[in-house]
């Protein structure tokens, strides 16, 4: 299914998987709404889209944790941008790596508000328009953490299990419509993810990917493009993507350095 002329909204579009997905969709001809907190980065991604692919883009500097701001920004889009064809719920993060009984409640709230409530706020605002128009793709970026729980992952894994449940629930709710609901659930992807999780400790973040070739944001973006370009009668429910050296959330082969 060609994407030329379609409008895609990507949350968390400033870096990593979100940025790579925005660029990949622009390459396929989509016009992009780039949603994220850091306006300078949004503009930088938008400039790259315009320069490389000549498609239109719009920066939407919004924190998905703010329900009112999400609703106002999306409902206030200019007419050209109102008819969103593709929603990529990518915004998400991990914060901290403590045992549950030693965890920081502020970390919990940050993850729950971003990974779960943020996805809900954006979906609730965008999907009714898709239903009314009778078309649309919703792709949630989940994680292997939504299928398995690993030591230190407790609340982050809980949020990604929630994303998995919400994806399945939305698919059930939309079964009588032409809309398609999918999830891409990666294993180890080298982005800013671990730097954020470890509060800026870049050495500790590098150790997560030591001795193996992790996935890139571009690898996940290609999975997203595959999903949204299938024929209208084909719905890809779920894609789990690992690096070749990873077999589960906790089983990884690392080469000796």
Catalytic residue list contains 121: no
Q: Which of 135, 160, 168, 209 is catalytic?
A: 160
- As a whole number of angstroms, the distance between CA 42 and CA 36 comes to 7
From 6, 19, 121, 156, the catalytic residue? 156
Give the full edge-to-edge strand order of the sheet including 86-89: 57-61, 31-36, 7-11, 86-89, 137-141, 180-186, 238-241
Token pair 């949020």 is found at: 159
Helix 119-133 crosses helix 154-173 at what angle (to 10 degrees)? 10
Residue of 41, 33, 39 lying closest to 89 (CA atoms): 33
Strand partners of residue 215: 189
Burial 217-256 (b: 16+ CB within 10 A, else e): bebbbbbbbebbeeeeeebbebbebbbebbeebeebeeee
The answer to whether residue 71 is catalytic is: no
Among residues 60, 34, 35, 38, which one has the least CA distance to residue 48? 34
Active-site residues: which are they?
156, 160
């Amino acid at each position: 299914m060609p994407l030329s002329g379609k409008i895609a909204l990507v949350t968390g579009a400033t870096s990593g998987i979100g940025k790579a997905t925005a660029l990949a969709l622009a390459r396929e001809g989509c016009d992009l709404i780039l949603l994220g907190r850091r306006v300078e980065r949004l503009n930088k991604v938008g400039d790259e889209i315009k320069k490389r692919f000549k498609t239109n883009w719009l920066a939407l500097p919004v924190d998905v944790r703010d329900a009112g701001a999400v609703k106002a920004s999306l409902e206030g889009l200019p007419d050209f941008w109102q008819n969103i064809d593709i929603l990529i719920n990518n915004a998400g993060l991990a914060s901290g790596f403590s045992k549950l009984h030693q965890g920081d409640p502020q970390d919990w709230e940050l993850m729950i508000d971003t990974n779960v409530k943020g996805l809900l706020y954006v979906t609730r605002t965008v999907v009714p328009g898709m239903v009314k128009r009778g078309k649309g793709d919703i792709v949630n970026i989940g994680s292997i953490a939504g299928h398995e729980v690993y030591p230190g992952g407790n609340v982050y894994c809980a949020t990604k299990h929630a994303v998995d449940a919400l994806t399945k629930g939305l698919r059930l709710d939309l079964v009588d419509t032409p809309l398609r609901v999918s999830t891409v659930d990666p294993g180890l992807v080298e982005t800013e993810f671990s730097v954020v999780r470890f509060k800026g400790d870049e050495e500790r973040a590098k150790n997560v990917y030591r001795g193996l070739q992790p996935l890139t944001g571009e690898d996940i973006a290609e999975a997203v493009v595959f999903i949204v370009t299938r024929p209208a009668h084909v719905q890809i429910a779920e894609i789990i993507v690992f690096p070749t050296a990873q077999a589960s959330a906790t089983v990884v082969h690392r080469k000796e350095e």
